C-alpha cells in the first residue's frame, strides 16, 4: 500500500504541540510535516520562525495545501468549531481533546460518515496506551466483557504521593502541578471529569455504546478523607481512581462508573504508580490483558498523535463496528451494584436505607465515622447525601456486578 504524504495544520503549540514537533523531527520515515501552526497568544516567545505561526484558524482551515488538522488546544468549544469545520472541508483530523469528543461524540460520528473524512483520537483516551485502535480492531469480534483501569495520570500521581510519601491532598496536588502533571486549574482531573470523558470514548469502542458524560456516576479524588486514606493503609490496599465499564451477565446491560477504589496489592492496578496509566481488558477468547504506560506529559501524548498520523498515511479510519454489532446493549445503572466505604462526620451521614446490605460500621469522636455496605449503582448516583459536605465515598475491592433483581 502506498503511503500518503501528510501536511499538517497544527492548532496549539503548548507542551503537547511542541512534543509533537520534536517527535516528528525524530521520525524521518513518516511522510508528515507541519505546514502551519495556529496559536492564540501573540506575545508568547516560541522556538520556531514567526512565519510558521498564525492567529486565525481560517488560515489553516482554508489552506488547501494542508490535508490534516491536528488539534491540541485546551478550549473544548473552540476545538469543536475547528474539528467540525475541518471535517466538512474534507481534512482528516487528529485530536487529543477528550472533553470535546465526549460532549459531541454522536454528532462527530455522524459527521465522519457524512463527509467520509476520518477523525482519530488515540491520544484522548490513555495518552501513550494504544487503546482505541485495539478495541476497534483486535477486539473486533471477540466478546469483550469489561474494561477497567487508571486512565488519568494526574490523579494517579497525586494518590501515589499521598500513599507513599504521606502527603496531604493539597501537598500532592501542588507537587503534581510543579512537575507539569496537573493544570493550574485541576478540577477536570481531581473531580474525575477527565476520566469520565475518557470512559465515554472507551464505551463507544468497547461496547458500541454512545452515552452522554452526565449519564456516568463520577466521583473524584478531591473529597477523599484522611479516614479513608488511613483505612486503605490499615487494610493493605492501594487507593486509585478507577474507571470501569462492564457487561452484566444475561440481560444485555452494561454498567459504568468512575470512583476512587481500594485495590488489593496483588491486583495489576496496584502496580500503576505516579503519572502512569493502566488498563485491563477482559474478553471471552483473549481472556485478561493489561496495558501499562505513561498517562501524562508531552511525549506520551505526542506519541499517540504520531501513531494516528501514521495510520492516516495508510487511509485508516474508525469504523465503529460495535455500534451495529452490539445494538442490543444498553447502559443500565439500575442493573448493577457495588460495595463501598463511606466516611462521614456528625454534620452529614449516609442514609442506611439506601443500602441493600450493611457490612461494617465504625464511629469515633476523633477520627470520624465510616460504614461499608452493598448499594445499587443507580441508588448511589441518586442519593441525596452523596455530595453533602464531609461525605467521602470509595469503592471496596471487586468489580461492578449485577444486582440480585437484575441477575434473576
Please compute Rg for the chain using Cα positions.
Answer: 22
Active site residue 198: yes
Cα–Cα separations (whole angstroms), residue 97 to 8, 18, 90, 102, 126? 17, 16, 20, 9, 12
pLDDT at 407: 47
Ranges of each domain in the chain = 6-127+298-323, 136-296+332-402
Give the angle subtended at the CA of 117 by the CAs of 303 and 127, to the nearest 5°.
Answer: 20
216, 217, 221, 224: CA torsion to nearest 10: 180
CATH architecture of 6-127+298-323: 3-Layer(aba) Sandwich (3.40)
CB 120 within 8 A of CB 218: no
Catalytic residue (choose from 198, 264, 321, 322): 198
Ramachandran category for residue 390: left, alpha or beta (phi over 0 → left; psi -120 to 50 → alpha): left
Report pLDDT digits (tens) over 233-291. Answer: 999 999 999 999 999 987 789 999 999 999 999 999 999 999 999 999 999 888 899 99
Backbone angles phi, psi at 93, to 5 degrees: -130, 140
Distance from CA of residue 376 to its chain's centroid? 23
What does the pLDDT look like over 86-100, one tens digit per residue? 999 999 999 999 999
Residue pair 234/177 in contact (Cβ under 8 Å)? The answer is no
Predicted TM-score (pTM) above 0.85: yes
| Cβ atoms of residues 296 and 13 within 8 Å | no
- Model pLDDT, residue 366: 84
| pLDDT number for residue 152 | 95
- pLDDT less than 70: residues of the chain: 1-2, 141-142, 184, 406-408
Considering the four listed CATH numbers 3.40.1800.10, 3.90.950.20, 3.30.360.10, 1.10.10.10, the one that applies to the domain covering 136-296+332-402 is: 3.30.360.10
> Helices 15-25 & 298-313, crossing angle to 10 degrees?
60
Cell numbers standing for residue 298: 508531552
Rounded to whole angstroms, how far apart are CA atoms 199 and 245?
8
Only one residue has cell 452484566, namely 248
CA distance 47 to 28: 20
Amino acid at each position: 500500500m502506498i503511503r500518503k504524504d501528510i501536511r499538517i495544520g497544527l492548532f496549539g503549540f503548548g507542551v503537547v504541540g511542541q512534543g509533537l514537533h520534536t517527535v516528528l523531527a525524530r521520525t524521518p520515515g513518516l511522510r508528515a510535516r507541519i505546514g502551519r501552526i495556529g496559536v492564540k497568544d501573540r506575545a508568547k516567545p516560541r522556538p520556531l520562525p514567526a512565519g510558521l505561526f498564525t492567529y486565525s484558524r481560517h488560515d489553516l482551515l482554508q489552506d488547501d495545501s494542508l490535508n490534516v488538522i491536528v488539534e491540541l488546544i485546551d478550549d473544548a468549544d473552540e476545538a469543536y468549531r475547528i474539528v467540525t469545520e475541518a471535517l466538512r472541508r474534507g481534512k482528516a483530523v487528529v485530536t487529543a481533546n477528550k472533553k470535546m469528543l465526549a460532549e459531541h461524540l454522536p454528532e462527530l460520528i455522524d459527521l465522519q460518515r457524512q463527509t467520509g473524512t476520518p477523525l482519530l483520537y488515540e491520544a484522548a483516551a490513555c495518552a501513550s496506551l494504544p487503546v482505541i485502535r485495539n478495541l476497534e480492531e483486535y477486539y473486533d469480534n471477540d466478546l469483550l466483557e469489561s474494561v477497567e483501569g487508571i486512565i488519568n495520570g494526574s490523579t494517579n500521581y497525586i494518590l501515589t504521593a499521598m500513599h507513599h510519601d504521606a502527603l496531604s491532598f493539597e501537598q500532592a496536588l501542588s507537587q503534581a502541578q510543579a512537575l507539569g502533571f496537573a493544570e493550574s486549574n485541576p478540577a477536570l482531573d481531581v473531580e474525575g471529569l477527565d476520566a469520565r470523558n475518557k470512559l465515554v470514548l472507551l464505551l463507544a469502542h468497547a461496547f458500541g455504546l454512545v452515552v452522554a458524560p452526565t449519564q456516568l456516576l463520577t466521583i473524584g479524588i478531591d473529597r477523599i478523607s484522611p479516614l479513608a486514606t488511613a483505612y486503605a493503609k490499615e487494610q493493605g490496599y492501594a487507593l486509585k481512581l478507577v474507571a470501569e465499564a462492564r457487561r452484566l451477565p444475561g440481560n444485555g446491560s452494561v454498567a459504568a462508573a468512575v470512583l476512587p477504589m481500594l485495590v488489593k496489592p496483588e491486583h495489576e492496578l496496584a502496580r500503576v504508580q505516579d503519572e502512569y496509566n493502566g488498563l485491563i481488558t477482559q474478553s471471552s477468547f483473549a481472556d485478561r490483558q493489561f496495558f501499562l504506560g505513561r498517562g501524562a506529559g508531552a511525549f506520551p501524548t505526542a506519541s499517540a498523535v504520531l501513531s494516528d498520523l501514521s495510520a492516516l498515511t495508510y487511509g485508516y479510519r474508525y469504523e465503529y463496528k460495535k455500534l451495529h454489532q452490539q445494538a442490543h446493549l444498553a447502559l443500565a445503572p439500575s442493573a448493577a451494584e457495588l460495595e463501598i466505604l463511606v466516611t462521614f462526620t456528625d454534620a452529614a451521614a449516609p442514609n442506611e436505607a439506601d443500602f441493600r446490605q450493611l457490612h461494617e460500621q465504625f464511629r469515633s469522636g476523633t477520627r470520624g465515622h465510616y460504614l461499608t455496605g452493598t448499594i445499587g449503582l443507580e441508588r448511589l448516583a441518586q442519593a441525596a447525601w452523596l455530595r453533602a459536605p464531609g461525605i467521602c465515598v470509595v469503592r471496596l475491592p471487586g468489580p461492578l456486578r449485577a444486582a440480585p433483581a437484575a441477575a434473576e
